[in-house]
Chain A
Amino acid sequence: MYKYDLYDQAMVDARVAEFRDQARRRLEGKLTEDQFKPLRLMNGLYLQLHAYMLRVAIPYGTLDSRQLEMLADIAERYDRGYGHFTTRQNIQYNWIRLEDAADILADLAKVEMHAIQTSGNCIRNISSDHFAGAAADEVVDPRPYAELMRQWSSFHPEFTYLPRKFKIAVIASDKDRAAMRLHDIGVRIVKRANDSGGEVGAQFYAGGGMGRTPMIAPLIRDFVPIEHFITYAEACLRVYNRYGRRDNKYKARIKILVHELGAAEYTRQVEEEFAHLLSVGVEPPREELARIAAHFADPAFIDGPKTVDRSDPDFALWVDRNTHRHKHDAYVSAVISLKPAGGIPGDATAEQMRVVARLAKQYSFDELRVMHTQNLLLPHVRIADLHAVWSALDAAGLAAPNMDTIEDIIACPGLDYCSLANARSIPLAQRISERFAETGRTEVVGELKLKISGCINACGHHHAGHIGILGVDKKGVENYQLSLGGSEAEDVSLAKITGPGFDEDGVIAAVEKVTDVYLASRAEGERFLDTYRRIGMEPFKEALYG
């Protein structure tokens, strides 16, 4: 994985010193909150319901054990012993004191981490496929390209005050495991046939997003040669920065610009800007990409057994559910569920983080990932070591065999923590996962992605849930809208609302009813989403409201 050079480290250290001074002046009363707020937000420090919240960037979700151990130390030393992994592959701490914030940033800098650009109207943490570098189906490892984008977008002077926040995902396979088309810009690294074994380039999608106006990003360029990759991204941003609406926060995202201009006209303007930029020469030198790529060379995989002993049914179930095919046939990627039945999605204690860090060091070439589904991942586990890994995870309460099931719920912090939320999300996730686990229906239902947001900002990705739940405030009382048919994968679609909302008990019953309809209607091999797409909304509405 990428290691900071002296320039990276100096940049981060300088930012820590700068923030330390800003925080000191705020604490001494020399800055007002209005003056300080944009400064703290640039360093990922929010003020939430109960305390300051610090969001730490985990570029494309990649970590090593030293970094996760530091995250555990921070949770213990400065917070309340836990952290919350987010849908942008970051971690958040919920109980931070302003007095400690600069010390935390200094600790992060010691392990090549920071909280820069995890808030504000700038290019946020670049996300990617959590199986990057391990997946059997990827064209190349997308992370060097994501890292190049990270470096390009960090402190980019032109894009520090965009009309609104800007999110980019980079993937490199036909399978979309990063909700790529629901980003402001989605990039798929591809290979085009040529005489020398394939030319690497990038497909660009622009104008996707969730939030109050969900949109799927249209393809705007089928192939950008990789030597112009950053130049094309710069052109996309420039057109947005120039014409994105700054007069209305709710219409300021690029998706609105692309929608209002039309994809064809937006693309025409990007192409015009691209041609101009090519003449200016903004692309980083090719040597820089090569330097970065060298950090992502494959570890030294070795041959070994390709099957496991399935005599322990709990282990076998976990292997079936939580492991993913690796590009080397003696390895798998192992998903570490942060979704125990009845638990808080994405939360991990300091001790659990240390367990995972130790396992990464011992069994996964010192590498691990944060998944946008709020789970962790050991990307390279020898099949021969799987039982040992599972045993250690099980002992730490981290071996729930539920990846992509109805228990693997994405939920935003909701009204339990977030100052923007209108309703709580976490209790719904807890009750639904508990209910399905208790009744043994999780395995019967199979793949079903349920996503819950506590407000219209959609941090819980409810628009992209096979089942989505949106919490709203109905005259001071929590109310939940149910929607069906969303997907953030390569078969991307936006969920549709079923009808009138429900109270907390009602929406949990409603989830059971729609799964009943699915089980009664599914054809051989169909997932919930497939059945919904085949039979449509009506049978579900009939069950809910008929």
Chain B
Amino acid sequence: MKILTGNDLRSGAVVWWNGSGWSLFVDDAVDVGEDAAEILAREEAARRVNVPYAIEASIDADGHVRPAHIKDRVRALGPTVRRDLAVPTADKTGWDWVI
């Protein structure tokens, strides 16, 4: 699947396109398929998010979204060395798939 991510303009926080807006939670990310370019252009023009881009991801058996590249997996949850600062996730196995 193809999902969109970027950083929130105001806070800089990592955000994910949920179909109607930007969410802090990777599990909210939706497959944008062939619409990636159009959504990116629209959202960048609206200036709500910094340098959004499309990435490859997959969904596991429990419905959790997992970005394909290690960099985006780290972005999804936060620094692996400061789990106390991590983005809250319902995915109990979250840290298992980051690295």
The verdict on A478 contacting chain B, using a C-beta distance below 8 Å, is: yes
Distance A99 CA – B79 CA, assembled complex (angstroms): 23
Contact A29 B47 (CB under 8 A): yes
The verdict on A152 contacting chain B, using a C-beta distance below 8 Å, is: no
Given contacts A427-B80, A478-B99, contact A26 B9 (CB under 8 A): yes
Contact B50 A33 (CB under 8 A): yes
Distance A23 CA – B50 CA, assembled complex (angstroms): 14
Contact B47 A415 (CB under 8 A): no
Distance A134 CA – B58 CA, assembled complex (angstroms): 58
From 1 to 37 in chain B, residues with beta carbon under 8 angstroms from any chain A beta carbon are 7, 9-14
Given contacts A27-B9, A97-B12, contact A49 B81 (CB under 8 A): no
Quick one: CB contact mask for A395-432 with B, threshold 8 Å, 1 for yes?
A: 00000000000000000000111010100101100100
Q: Closest residue of chain A to B71, judged by CB?
A: A415
Given contacts A33-B50, A80-B85, contact A415 B12 (CB under 8 A): no
The verdict on A194 contacting chain B, using a C-beta distance below 8 Å, is: no
The verdict on A292 contacting chain B, using a C-beta distance below 8 Å, is: no
From 47 to 99 in chain B, residues with beta carbon under 8 angstroms from any chain A beta carbon are 47, 50-51, 68-71, 74-75, 78-82, 85, 99
Secondary structure of the B contact surface, majority rule: loop
For A97, what are the chain B residues with a Cβ–Cβ distance below 8 Å?
10-12
Contact A49 B50 (CB under 8 A): no
CB distance from A51 to the nearest CB of B (A): 4
For B50, what are the chain A residues with a Cβ–Cβ distance below 8 Å?
33, 47
From 31 to 71 in chain A, residues with beta carbon under 8 angstroms from any chain B beta carbon are 32-33, 47-52
CB distance from B68 to the nearest CB of A (A): 8
Distance A427 CA – B98 CA, assembled complex (angstroms): 14
Contact B80 A424 (CB under 8 A): yes
Contact B80 A416 (CB under 8 A): yes
For A33, what are the chain B residues with a Cβ–Cβ distance below 8 Å?
44, 47, 50-51
Q: Closest residue of chain A to B11, judged by CB?
A: A97
Distance A415 CA – B78 CA, assembled complex (angstroms): 10
The winner among A27, A51, A478 for most chain B CB atoms within 10 A is A51
The verdict on A477 contacting chain B, using a C-beta distance below 8 Å, is: yes
Residues of B within 8 A of A (CB): 7, 9-14, 44, 46-47, 50-51, 68-71, 74-75, 78-82, 85, 99
Contact B70 A98 (CB under 8 A): no
Residues of A within 8 A of B (CB): 26-27, 29, 32-33, 47-52, 80, 95-99, 344, 415-417, 419, 421, 424, 426-427, 430, 473, 476-478
Query: 9 new A-B pairs (CB below 8 Å) besides A50-B14, A52-B12, A424-B99?
Result: A29-B46, A49-B75, A80-B85, A97-B12, A344-B82, A416-B80, A417-B79, A421-B71, A426-B81
For A344, what are the chain B residues with a Cβ–Cβ distance below 8 Å?
81-82
Contact B81 A98 (CB under 8 A): no
For A29, what are the chain B residues with a Cβ–Cβ distance below 8 Å?
46-47
Contact B47 A32 (CB under 8 A): yes
A47 partner, pick from B7, B10, B85, beta carbons under 8 A = B7
For B75, what are the chain A residues with a Cβ–Cβ distance below 8 Å?
49-50
13 contacts between A and B (CB under 8 A): A29-B47, A47-B7, A47-B50, A50-B79, A51-B11, A52-B12, A80-B85, A95-B85, A96-B12, A98-B11, A98-B12, A424-B81, A424-B99
Distance A415 CA – B82 CA, assembled complex (angstroms): 12
Given contacts A47-B50, A426-B81, contact A415 B74 (CB under 8 A): yes
Contact A47 B12 (CB under 8 A): yes
CB distance from B63 to the nearest CB of A (A): 23
Given contacts A50-B75, A50-B79, A426-B81, contact A415 B70 (CB under 8 A): yes
Contact A51 B81 (CB under 8 A): no
Contact A427 B74 (CB under 8 A): no
Distance A49 CA – B86 CA, assembled complex (angstroms): 13
The winner among A26, A47, A50, A99 for most chain B CB atoms within 10 A is A50
Q: Closest residue of chain B to A477, judged by CB?
A: B70
Distance A251 CA – B66 CA, assembled complex (angstroms): 37
Contact B81 A430 (CB under 8 A): yes
For B9, what are the chain A residues with a Cβ–Cβ distance below 8 Å?
26-27, 98
For B78, what are the chain A residues with a Cβ–Cβ distance below 8 Å?
50
Distance A389 CA – B97 CA, assembled complex (angstroms): 44
For B10, what are the chain A residues with a Cβ–Cβ distance below 8 Å?
27, 97-99
Contact B7 A51 (CB under 8 A): yes
Distance A477 CA – B81 CA, assembled complex (angstroms): 18
Distance A421 CA – B70 CA, assembled complex (angstroms): 11
CB distance from A480 to the nearest CB of B (A): 13
Distance A429 CA – B34 CA, assembled complex (angstroms): 42
Q: Closest residue of chain B to A33, judged by CB?
A: B50
Contact A49 B47 (CB under 8 A): no
Q: Closest residue of chain A to B80, judged by CB?
A: A416
